[in-house]
Chains A and B, each alone.
Chain A
Amino acid sequence: MKILVTVTEVADADDEFEISGTSIADQYLTYDLNEWDDYAIEEAVQLSEEHDDIEVVTVTFGAERVEETIRTALAKGADRAIRVWDDSFEGKTILDPSQKAELLAGVVEEEEPDLVLSGVQSGDVAIGATGVALAEKIGYEWAAVVNQLDLDRDSGVASVHRELEGGVEELTDVEPPAVLTIQTGINEPRYASLRGIRQAQSKPLDVVSPDDLGVELEESAIELTELVEPESESDTELFEGSPEETAGQLAEFLREQGVGA
């Protein structure tokens, strides 16, 4: 059995930043493994630890820089990795879930995994649609926002909990092959061990181009044409001064409200 985990890197903006064109200028961004994907990796690795015959493969779309993030996934226990890239994508952010799905579909067709685990969303752009779009494209079943997964190897059914709003979970059976989008909190992601980090260096990391996968992206109908720092609608009254001073002012306000009396 094979599990494919989609892994992406997200950009986190500094407290102070500037916008250049339709992006935050690169010097204000730090890149990290997407929080939701960390849980997806962990879920796959835990399954592979329970069942000897499960192979965990990761797929990431991105320039060479993302290999650091991919090595982290390998260090946490994935068996091998695929990076999809072609220099023509340099400097572009793909916002179209269908295009992302198209790129991933090329890999799914080669690898034919039984399960694809994706994060619910990428923390930075928060589109939240790629996993389900992928499922539809490749003819897999799916479930979005999964926070519990029990795989019954005999019946072949994945019993999941989907986390709905307001503290309610939906109990659902999905028949693989399927794409599940994984919600934070489903498990406790491990830290990469030193041994894992060493082993990751020798695990296979293949780089393929969309061309190699036979994927030709059509022009997207969606384009980010402007990016702004929204005018703060805030009328927050800020307490100013040293921590003692600000704490003092806040305390006074709270006392006026009858708190702590």
Chain B
Amino acid sequence: MSDVLVVAEHRRGELRDVSYELLTAGRELADSTGGDVHAAVISGDVDSYAEDLNREGVDAVHTVEYGEEFNHGVYTQAVEQLADEIDAQYVVAGNTVNGLDFVPAVAERLDLPLVTDAVAFETGDGLSVIRELYSGKTEGTVEVDSEEAFVTVRPGEWPAAEGTGDAAIEAFDADIDESELDTTVNGFEEVGSGDVDITEADVLVSVGRGIEEEDNLPIIHELADALGATVSASRPIVDNGWLGQERQVGQSGKKVTPDIYIAIGISGAVQHVAGMKGADTIIAINNDPSAPIYDIADYGIVDDLFDVVPALTEEFGG
């Protein structure tokens, strides 16, 4: 027992990027245990996915043919059986919406510990997982005192595995008990279309919870007007209904890559950063110097937005 099982993710006919990152994370663990990296791909066009997953460092790819899209009942049963079949020491999956919909259930069934949202591993004498705590303000070391464990890995932290490997591609005949599948996936719906397309903007003035009240929003619009920029937002502003969903930046909103992104009263939570880290220049206006937004900002003003924003607007004759 020294092998690592990596569970790939796909949606609507495509492997998700995180799958390749999981292969790298899995390889790192397998190097420490001296074992092999096994990838599992479940449902959909598994044969073509398997070919894509056959990258450097991957020893085997197991395909489970069953239905088209993610169903947590199918994943739970298939991963439980595969982990048993290959006698996996560690099982690695994405810390994603679907990862968190099945991994806790498998860990529970197998009575094995689960650590979520890993950003790094410390291996050697056993496994320690590095993860953030207190909204990204601190980093903790979580020691896993168990031979076997489940880990979910934060997207974007490990580089994607590259090249072509010489993995054995094998069909795994999972025994799916249909009476256990009490959840039915009926389809998908796209949300967040509207009359602005923030992904097209060169300059985004983005507003977060630091704005406190809907009545304070005009200072943001005034700044955007003065700069000829487009207004976008973090999630709480959209959740509150102060701006439309088409303006939400982040994991569940839009991914934006403007020349300039001005984050105003935004803390820089991982799900927000996922949507804007591709901006050329990031500017933060946030009065908390420990806010994680400063880990990625190129320029910053650590001060009260209610003082800085109107002053900036004035600079541009607004």
Contact = CB atoms under 8 A, between A and B. Distances in A.
B116 A127 contact: yes
Contacts of B284: 236
Contacts of B315: 247-248, 250-251
B133 A125 contact: yes
A171 B113 CA distance: 30
A63 interface: no
A91 interface: no
Contacts of A225: 128, 141-143
B299 A173 contact: no
Contacts of B216: none
Contact of A132 (B104, B182, B227, B228): B104
B295 A232 contact: yes
B255 A257 contact: no
Contacts of A229: 137-139, 290
A259 B236 CA distance: 28
A187 B259 CA distance: 34
A123 B287 CA distance: 20
B97 A164 contact: yes
Contacts of A239: 299-301
A91 to B, nearest CB: 16
A125 B251 CA distance: 19
A144 interface: yes
A24 interface: yes
B141 A172 contact: no
Interface in A121-145: 123-133, 135-137, 141-145
A132 B140 contact: no
Interface residues of B, number: 94
Given A98-B114, A167-B191, A243-B304, A232 B104 contact: no
A125 B203 CA distance: 33
A135 B105 contact: yes
Contact of B287 (A15, A125, A166, A175): A15
A250 B301 contact: yes
A145 B190 contact: no
A214 interface: no
A12 B302 CA distance: 19
A94 interface: no
A131 B72 CA distance: 14
Contact of B145 (A101, A221, A226, A257): A221
Contacts of A24: 134, 137-138
B114 A97 contact: yes
Contacts of B252: 163-167
Interface in B126-163: 128, 132-135, 137-146, 149
Given A223-B143, A229-B139, A234-B297, 18 more contacts: A126-B133, A128-B100, A133-B104, A137-B108, A141-B183, A145-B100, A169-B190, A172-B185, A174-B183, A221-B144, A221-B149, A222-B142, A225-B143, A227-B138, A235-B298, A237-B300, A239-B300, A243-B304
Interface of A: 11-13, 15-17, 19, 22, 24, 95-98, 101, 123-133, 135-137, 141-145, 161-175, 184-185, 188, 220-230, 232-239, 243-244, 246-248, 250-251, 253-254, 257, 259-260
19 contacts: A126-B116, A126-B132, A128-B95, A132-B103, A132-B105, A133-B104, A143-B183, A144-B100, A168-B188, A169-B188, A169-B189, A184-B239, A221-B149, A222-B145, A233-B295, A243-B304, A248-B311, A250-B315, A259-B227
